[in-house]
Structure 1
Amino acid sequence: MKRSTASIARLWPKTLRNRLFVILGLNALIPLLLVIFISYKSVYPLLDQRIRTGIQSNLNLYQLSLENTLVSLNNVSQILAFDGRIGKKLSLFLSEKDLYTKTQINNDILQDLNIISSTNPTLGLFFYYFKDNQNILYQNFSVNKQFALEKLPRLVELNGITYYGPHRTNREFSDVQVLSVARKIVLPDREDVYVYLETGYNIWNKIYQTGRKQNMNDFHLIVDQQNRITYSENPADFPIGTVLKYDPTGSKKESNGYYVFDTQSNQGWKAIDLISKATYHKEIKNWFEQLVVILFLSLLLGSLFAWLIWRMVYVPLKKVNRDMRLIEHSDFDTPLSEFAIVEFDSMMKHFDVMRHRVKELLEENAAKEKRRADFEVEKLLYQINPHFIHNTLDTIQWLARLKGQEDIDTVATSLNKLLYYNLGKKGPHSTIAEELEALRDYLALQKIRYDFDFSVNIHATEELHCCLVPRFILQPLVENSLYHGHFDDKNGLIDVTVEPDGADYMIIQIRDNGRGMTPETIARLLEKQSDEQNRIGLGIGVYYVKRVFDSQYDGHADFSITSTIGEGTCISLRIPRTYAMKDGDTL
């Protein structure tokens, strides 16, 4: 006994994954095998075969009845045609000129038609139809004024006879379903004469009365030789005139969510019976009753298996929960629990690594808090510098005015305003008006710095003054024109324009008449910030503006530089129009 128990223990999986696989596999496999066995051996094949046989038998009966009905109509139409007795009289009636003789022929035709009508009780409306002038003769009932052979659902055409599928009768003031035929009559001097006959369509009702179950919720179609639907009991899913598509070779033919049963007549048309899949399988209710019993047994087995899984998982989780509470109380040194399951042991190893990492992070965070306090003090010291610079410039400006030094006053005023704008804390954006004001202060400084003459024309459409742009983009571009324009030998001219471009964009252009730049120089300006650029202005230039565009507009703005040697350079910025609101928001 002990040896057999030890053998079972060796075969039992050691990992939780394999144990769950074995238990849940048995839980799913046993009920599935029972369902497959019972369904295959007893329920499904028998019921399926019975249903299919019954449907196909009734469909064959319907096809045969429909064929017999059309043959009867064909026989009657033959009597009314030219090769019949009445057809010959019709030919004489149409060709006779004598009124008395014509009246006698007419009375004979009416008498013969009454005989045919009385001897064929299933015969409905019939008449002679002259297609060219649309005249109707010898009708036994009033004919619908909208009658036209072209509007009828043609089933098949054989030997000069056209068979029409079920349709609404052409008898006036009636709405019954009928079958009809139209036979062309060959007269010596007329090619447009037809005899048209109808008979009632109640074949399916007769089949139902013979014992067919009416709870199948099925629909019936009739299709012509090209599989075009001429009659449909479900026009919503299978409209008349459309082509019925299905695979005629499968064991179960399907179309649009229905099972298709068909039978073909000798004349080429097909009778179709459509049964929805849900309705078809509904009759196999005994299979579901057996399935309920199987599911109940599976539930009992599943409950037992779930209890086993719970026992395997709960005990280790309880220990893991205890170890987590130790960390919650900042106990990082107590040894962790060990298990006899590989997955839990591996998890606890990672948990131990995490525990040590948490301890290190807490210690590191305490050190960071201390450093942060020191940084706050240092930050306050750095904030003193800008205020000191502004106060010093204000003092220089006051002394210059006192001494009458206008140039120094201008330099101090412009530099103070420029530094206040560039080092201000109004956020990353400013308006066009603010950018242009800062640019004017910058140009005032540069006119004193450079030893050559240059002029700057600034034009901005008034409606764009409130538009937002990234802070500090115009000064680097104008600085580029001053530095690379080389205005030594001629008066320099720089045009700065801000104009609308449609309703959503605006264009900013900085154009100079300097010496121009080569494509290599332009590429170097856009690629990186060189030491040469760092020696002019505030140390940032075209590269800064390009980076701002790439980061803030994400491809929705255009930045381009065009230059011609000896003629000058033009920098164009195409920016979406965003307006500043009074409360600081944007529109």
Structure 2
Amino acid sequence: MMNPLRRFFPLRSLRSRLALFLTIATVVPVLWLGYISYRWIYIVQTEKIQRDWMDKAYRERDELERKLDELGRVSQLLDVEGGIGREVVRFIGSADPYERSMLYRDINDSIANVIFSNPNLGLMFFYDPDLAEPVLFPNREGGAALDLRSLTPFYRQKLFTYYGPYPSFSPESEAKGPVFSLLRKLTYGQGKSLYAYVETKTTGLESLFDAAAAGRSDYPVYHVLTAPNGNVAYSNLKEAAKAGESYAVSSRQYKTFRADSGHGWTIYQLIPVSAYDREMNKWLLQFVLLASLSILFGIALAWVIWRMVYRPIRIMNREITRFRYNQSPTGVSATGLLEFNQMLANFQSMSRRIAELIADVEDKEKRRGELEVEKILVQINPHFLHNTLNTIQWLARMQGQANIAKLVSIFTRVLHYNLGKKTIIVTVREEAEAVRDYIELQNIRYDHSFNVSLDIGPDCLDVPIPRFLLQPLVENALYHGFDEDESGEIAVTIRREARHLLVEVVDNGKGIPRERLEALLETDDDKLRRSGLGIGLRYVRKMLAVYYGSAAELSIESEPGGGTRIAIRLPDAVRGAEGLDSSVDRR
């Protein structure tokens, strides 16, 4: 057994092994907890960062969708059917100067109201390519420079064509970022066409279209906007994603977050991997530094603990050797450590001796309790036999043979239960039958001058209890509760409460005076004997003490003229009864 241990642990002294194990116990938890902490923080931080960036991408997508939807709603106000476009068609077809003047004023007022209600709108006008001056009713200068061929469609939706992002056609918007626009075809008359052009500013999307902010050295973030066909519509990542080309950016160089629109276009956020991992790398460096300091501190602490533990162990071993009273050698299994081999030999020698003493004391206490019970039984039985024989003699003179035969039969059962080959532990059912026999004997003796009732719960009948526990209580109530010429009632009740039995013996006799009751409640046997209530109660107390110890409770309540109540509360199981039961044959 020891050879494998010595092969794996060549260090045999406590000092060397203690130093090794304390070092391991210090380093391993730090590394393990450090790894768990790193993994947990890494996952939490990564998920948080990714969630934040995805939320930002979704916000930019939602904002851009809102602006494009706003263009569609505004274009409905410019329609030729019920919108401003109807007035524009009348203006184009009218030859009356006055009517044209009134229509011109109304159209400009309507466009002004639309612009006022939608402050994000930029340039807006109508466009008729068949007219000499195709741009009609621009809300600001610059509409004349419109060249649809220079615009690349962003995406199309039925008669709507969205463009962008690109610089506004209005010079007033050059310094305010790119715009998106909607060109809607309005058909009227016999195949004639009119176009409504509306621009929207990119206010609120500065982070998306701010090329200068994208190149910041501390934490650069680039954006790419792709059309439904997959081509790049906008990019501030000039070299890796050029406008008009198919989007293809290496995931090894950039951490990508995308948000797709329901119209097919997509916003990409691209962060260089080196910048994305910078915070995690900074934290990892701090963690490694802190872990190293913790390990060094742990090793130093382990050395201090080793110094604190090893010296007291030697002192303790010396003290155990000094106070050891048995010097005879004993076989001690080796532990693999010289110091602990000696300590274990001393300890086992002492522990064996102490165990023997404890076992001897416990055996003596058990036997003493058993002898006390046996002694009390021996004292009780002659008294009981004397009374019974007197009854038989009395019946022999006063009655015929039938009654004597019945009495002898009952007496035989009682005698067999009390003195025969019965174990000291019986069931409540057996104890109740014995009490009934005893009651019948006493009724014959006293000419049925008293009544004893037994009320026992069905769930109590098979519960084990010490033998001869109820009869002394009934006997005390019979002999000491009533005068000889007095009839009375005695009620015996047994109920189960959780894991306990509640045994009550109640009589309506003359009761017990206070000073006598106090003497009766004394735990001293001599005082109890002097109380004049006989030895039955002492026997019951001895039985409870032997078989239940402090788990059983006995209480007596009585008042002069008010009867007496004796109650016993004991567990519904007798522990250790097998070792105490002697099963003595007393016949």
Could you say which TM-score interval applies, normalised by the shorter chain? 0.3 to 0.5
Larger radius of gyration: 2
Greater relative contact order structure (CA < 8 Å, 6+ sep): 2
TM normalised by structure 2 equals 0.41
TM normalised by structure 1 equals 0.41
